[in-house]
Chains A and B, each alone.
Chain A
Amino acid sequence: MASPVEQFKIEPLVPLDIGGVNISFTNSALLMVVSVCLVTTFLTLSVRGRALIPGRWQSMAEVLYEFTANMIRDNVGSQGRKYFPFIFTLFMFVLFGNLLGMIPFSFTYTSHIIVTFGLAIVVFVGVTIIGFMHHGLGYLRMFFPHGAPLATALILVPIELISYCSRPFSLAIRLFANMTVGHIILQVMAGFVISLGAFYVLPGIVPMAFLGGITVLEFGIALLQAYVFTILSCIYLHDAIHMH
């Protein structure tokens, strides 16, 4: 039986190398391209009819669009409108990465820490730049809460600094860990189904039932984690624009 982490293995499909840097087109990159194609096709074709009363596909596209728009309006405010395309792209990219990973024998690029960190660091750097753009050097007040006695600065500033800088890590690790663990559980449970079911049918049914339940749960987690990643980005954006 294959190791439970076998599914996360990256296979180079087209080996590429530029100036000694490995940029091979891998199974992970393939899934990213697939997700870009699917998202674009889905969101473009579904609203092609421009129906006043939307059908199923158009409804889904509209719901995703309005969901993200409301998320930004509620969490960032009117100044967040500018960043809507980025947030929407982020949401769709993570969501489709999670959902495509639920297809058996496909690949989950959001289960790779480097990918989630790559996204998180963009959010972190972007949010920091937006913060300095809005408040200039005043953005440094972020690390020292209003109304705290000056003497506590020695303790508060390092704590705030650490908490601020740990944001991209928590963002990246949360998504990566959820996806990885979920897929390992699915793999292990599926292994039980096969190894137990090989002897007798009956004992195989128990892990099979578990597997069914966990699959439903994993779909929920795929949606939830994409939402969490996006809403945390919105909250960071809110902090940068409005400070505390």
Chain B
Amino acid sequence: MPQFDPTFFSSQLFWLYVTFILLYVLLSIFAMPKIGGVLEERQRKIDDNLDKAAQLKAEAETAIAVYEKALADSRAEAHQLLRSSGEALAKQAEARQKELGERLADQIKAGEARIVAAKDQALAQVRDVASDVAKMAAAKLTGITLDDAKVGLAVTSAMQERR
């Protein structure tokens, strides 16, 4: 096998170390800093973007919190307004009803008084008429002129009996 022929061992080792050292130097100077730089830059950019995303997320969350608070506040306010106006309306309605009731009661009372008055008047007229009729009937039938006071008394008692 040519691998075990020592003729070119020295040449092989010499060129191996020359090329290896050359490659080491070339890679250390040119290639590796470049690749490392690209990778580092990408990592930094990714981290930056992640930071920015986190910041935006926090901002969005604050905005949401503010919005929700405003919503809750206005809801509470609306509720309060609804309740207070409802109460006011109920009070007003009650007051009006009471007033109406009072007025109706007054009117009823007045009506009743008028009825009583009319009845008394009517009854008084009936007695007068009855006394006149009784007096005239007595005069016509018996020819006796009765005393007004006596006839009135008799008619009144009769009416009281009939009632």
Chain A interfacial positions (CB closer than 8 Å to B): 5, 8-10, 12, 16, 21-26, 28-29, 32-33, 35-36, 39-40, 43-44, 47-48, 50-52, 54, 58, 61-62, 65-66, 84-86, 88-89, 92-93, 109, 111-115, 118-119, 122, 176, 180
Contacts and interface: CB of A to CB of B under 8 A. Distances in A.
A118 B14 CA distance: 10
B26 A40 contact: yes
A118 B18 CA distance: 12
B7 A65 contact: no
A93 B20 contact: yes
Contact of B35 (A36, A51, A52, A65): A65
B13 A39 contact: no
A46 to B, nearest CB: 8
A42 B17 CA distance: 21
A88 B12 CA distance: 21
Contacts of B16: 32, 109, 115, 118-119
Q: Counting chain A CB atoms within 10 Å of each CB, which of B5, B16, B19, B30 scores highest? A: B16
15 contacts: A24-B11, A25-B11, A36-B26, A39-B23, A39-B27, A40-B31, A43-B32, A44-B30, A44-B31, A50-B37, A54-B38, A89-B24, A112-B3, A118-B12, A118-B16
Given A10-B2, A23-B10, A61 B19 contact: no
B30 A29 contact: no
Contacts of B3: 8, 111-114, 176, 180
Main secondary structure of the interface of A (DSSP, over half): helix
A88 B37 contact: no
B7 A5 contact: no
Complex A-B, nearest 6 residue pairs according to Cβ-Cβ distance, in ascending order: A29-B15, A43-B31, A32-B19, A23-B14, A40-B26, A89-B24
Nearest to B24: A89
A23 B11 contact: yes
Contacts of B10: 21-23
Contacts, number: 138
Contacts of B41: 50, 52
Contact of A32 (B5, B7, B15, B31): B15
Contacts of A54: 38
Q: Which of B28, B36, B38, B41 has the most CB of A within 10 A?
A: B38
B23 A92 contact: yes
B9 to A, nearest CB: 5
Most chain A CB within 10 A, of B7, B15, B41, is at B15
Contacts of B36: 65
B1 interface: yes
B152 to A, nearest CB: 130
B67 interface: no
B30 to A, nearest CB: 5
B45 A85 contact: no
Contacts of A88: 27, 32
Contacts of B98: none
B22 interface: yes
Contacts of A26: 8, 11-12, 15
B24 A86 contact: yes
Contacts of B24: 85-86, 89
B31 A52 contact: no
A84 to B, nearest CB: 8
Given A10-B5, A58-B38, 5 more contacts: A9-B2, A33-B15, A33-B19, A44-B34, A47-B34
B42 interface: yes
A28 B7 contact: no
A114 B9 contact: yes
A40 B35 contact: no
A10 to B, nearest CB: 5
